[in-house]
Structure 1
Amino acid sequence: MTIKNTIKEKVLVYGVLGFTGNLFLEYALDKNIPIILGARDDSVRQKSSEYGMEYRIFEIKDTKSIIPHLADVKAVVNLANISYSVNKYLIDACIETKTHYVDLASEYPDMIEICHLHDKALANGVMLMPGVGFNLAPSDIAGLIASELLPNATKLSLGFATFGNASRGTINSVLRLAAETGYSRISGKLVASNPASVKHSFFVEDKEYVLINNPIMGDTITSFMSTNIPDITSYAYYPWILVQFMKGRMDWLRKFLINHTHWFFSDRPNRERTKDSAQLNLG
């Protein structure tokens, strides 16, 4: 692929065929921004025709093949639910072509890998910004506000609860990382922490929610950057079966569900039945 116009002024939004991508097209599309719709599937052609926008089709499988697609792109917004082991090719292509990069990654392993690329990206004048999705942004903002109200706080407990349906991509990510060891932050240091090993009560509108620690989330990175509070633990609400997976139980079932999410879970959850709640406890 050859792009004649090398002025970097466009924004490539990759992963527009998924659940989050469709939300973007429905609610966040700005016709005043020169947006390119990106995907690995030919069906993006129909989306581009529907919205009257440019499109590009490519897979994220190696850096070299991605580079030509970014010649005129100023920033990439990656909405695809892909692990860092795959995303790294797109990120490397962005650094090499001096293209800013944004994605939804909220899990600790993905975020720490991207943080390791900070100096390299900065040297090329590139911004790398993971964690812009709903999983981290609200709790990070809430933590910052609370730390400004209580500047002497030394402990931050973040609770995140989602009730209702979730997209297939979200479920796949949760299943993939459910049994992984994560991190809490103690005395400013990252300390290994097993998931579902600690419970904590949060109160929202006089109702108690008992959540379990979810150390795989990236709050221990982002909230520490935002607040500089030395002790940070992230908690979440999960159904019983997911808690069992997080404790290392029924791993055969977890792996079976990962390989067959397309059988059991819709890629278009019913948004009317889904509501989110985030609350923190700081002291």
Structure 2
Amino acid sequence: MKTWMIYGANGYTGELIAREAVKRGLSPVLAGRNADKIRPLAEELSLAFQAFPLNDHAAKQLKDIDLVLHCAGPFDLTSKPMIQACLQAKTHYLDITGEISVFEYTHSQHAQAVEKDIILCSGVGFDVIPTDCTALKLKEALPDAIELSLGFDSDSGVSPGTFKTMIQGIGSTSMHRKDGVLEPVTLGSQHRIIDFGRGSRSAMGIPWGDVSTAYYTTGVPTISTWIPMSKPKIQSARLMKIASPLFASDWVKEMLQKQVEKRVKGPNNEFRANTPAYIWGEARNAEGVLKVARLQTANVYDLTVYGSLDLVRRLLSEQIDGGYYTPAGLFGSSLVEKLPGSGAFEIDTFYPR
């Protein structure tokens, strides 16, 4: 019997995953930095638990663990030490990040993962399973695509962990990939009209993880990522650049994160059940042919629960060569369609006039 761990199980999403795992008859080891926060949930769910910091000794805590599902953000700070611990312990590594820097770092450890024969796969939740699968689906539909645009629309609510990650990114720029190279762009400078699946809306480019992952999944050299945003809010995003030095300061971020801990609880079950997500993607080739894909999925947090547990189950039961993978790179473009609450891809083709 293989043993796996949820690190960060006391967080909003980690707890959702732990509870669903138990419903499915699974017995993860719960873990985190603070024993007092982990113990109550472990005792309630009758699960083993560990408490340890992510430092140079973390690998010792993984010696009997076959796989870690890392749920403790902000991942820009926590993923590197956990990945290094997993490499030392020869333990598969999954996380639920959406941060571009984390995807790039995880990819940079490919050779070490091959040597250790373990899987490294970041983004096994809403960030980025649906859009990663959309990218691959479009690449399959238009093999000579040279440009990808990906995005989503959801009234999903925000968890404390997501809010803290957003705070970490305050004051930063947006990001896209141009001719294979990641490039910063001014937040609010990318705007267009998109129908994500429930009517045409004004949209803005954002630094979503697919500008990293979709490149490794598809090889398409130019990638942008989008969410719906009203024109006044896009204008406000542009103005944020003026105040970005203030918002980027450590003391402002620390103050905001303390407020999150006091005030943000995360969406409840009923809210999540009534707020699906709408996924959109567009591929273009050199001749101007367009393929547009749309898909409806479960709420972003529910999809993270379903997606992460599906990858855990499959990696513990299937033999796959070690290395860095994206979710769609591991299990194909149909991965998202098989998750609870997901529909099937609908693809339209448009030819240049």
**Closer, same or farther in 2 for the Cα pair 1:242/1:278, shift >3 Å?**
farther
Q: Displacement of 1:266 after TM fit?
A: 1.1
Between 168-177 and 205-214, the greater mean CA deviation after superposition:
205-214
Counterpart residue type for residue 266 of structure 2: R
Matched residue, 2:107: 115
TM-score between the two structures when normalised by the length of structure 2: 0.69
**Higher relative CO (CA 8 A, sep ≥ 6), structure 1 or 2?**
2
In structure 2, distance between residues paired with 1:233 and 1:204? 15
Matched, 1:189 2:181: yes
Deviations 1:84-137 (A, max 9, x none): 333322211111111111111221111111211211222122221111120211
Matched residue, 2:217: 226
Matched residue, 1:151: 143
**Closer, same or farther in 2 for the Cα pair 1:31/1:245, shift >3 Å?**
same
Deviations 1:178-236 (A, max 9, x none): 43245422233333333321102211445112221113x22122112222222211112
Matched residue, 1:100: 92
Matched, 1:279 2:280: yes
Matched residue, 1:19: 12
Q: Which runs of 5+ in 1 are unaligned?
A: 1-7
Q: Which one of the candidate residues 80, 83, 89 is aligned to 1:91?
A: 83
Check whether the contact 1:9–1:34 (CA below 8 A) recurs between aligned residues: no
Q: Displacement of 1:29 after TM fit?
A: 3.4
- Secondary structure at the counterpart of residue 66 of structure 2: strand
Aligned residues: 273
Aligned-pair identity in percent equals: 24
Counterpart residue type for residue 91 of structure 2: T
In structure 1, distance between residues paired with 2:91 and 2:79? 14
In structure 2, distance between residues paired with 1:49 and 1:227? 44
Q: Displacement of 1:253 after TM fit?
A: 5.3
Matched residue, 1:263: 259
Check whether the contact 1:44–1:55 (CA below 8 A) recurs between aligned residues: yes
- Secondary structure at the counterpart of residue 16 of structure 1: coil
Q: Which one of the candidate residues 37, 53, 73 is aligned to 2:47?
A: 53
- Greater helix proportion: 2
- Secondary structure at the counterpart of residue 144 of structure 1: helix
Matched residue, 1:38: 31
**Closer, same or farther in 2 for the Cα pair 1:246/1:173, shift >3 Å?**
farther
TM-score between the two structures when normalised by the length of structure 1: 0.85
Counterpart residue type for residue 280 of structure 2: Q
In structure 2, distance between residues paired with 1:27 and 1:35? 11
Deviations 1:29-54 (A, max 9, x none): 36654421112222321211111111
Counterpart residue type for residue 52 of structure 2: F
Q: Displacement of 1:155 after TM fit?
A: 1.7
**Closer, same or farther in 2 for the Cα pair 1:242/1:36, shift >3 Å?**
farther
**Closer, same or farther in 2 for the Cα pair 1:247/1:122, shift >3 Å?**
farther
Matched residue, 1:3: none
**Closer, same or farther in 2 for the Cα pair 1:149/1:31, shift >3 Å?**
closer
Between 252-261 and 45-54, the greater mean CA deviation after superposition:
252-261
In structure 1, distance between residues paired with 2:123 and 2:116? 21
- Secondary structure at the counterpart of residue 250 of structure 1: helix
**Closer, same or farther in 2 for the Cα pair 1:30/1:253, shift >3 Å?**
same
Matched residue, 1:5: none
**Closer, same or farther in 2 for the Cα pair 1:172/1:19, shift >3 Å?**
same
In structure 2, distance between residues paired with 1:245 and 1:10? 48
Counterpart residue type for residue 50 of structure 1: E
In structure 2, distance between residues paired with 1:155 and 1:39? 40
Between 136-145 and 252-261, the greater mean CA deviation after superposition:
252-261
Deviations 1:130-175 (A, max 9, x none): 1112021101111211221222332211112332520121112122
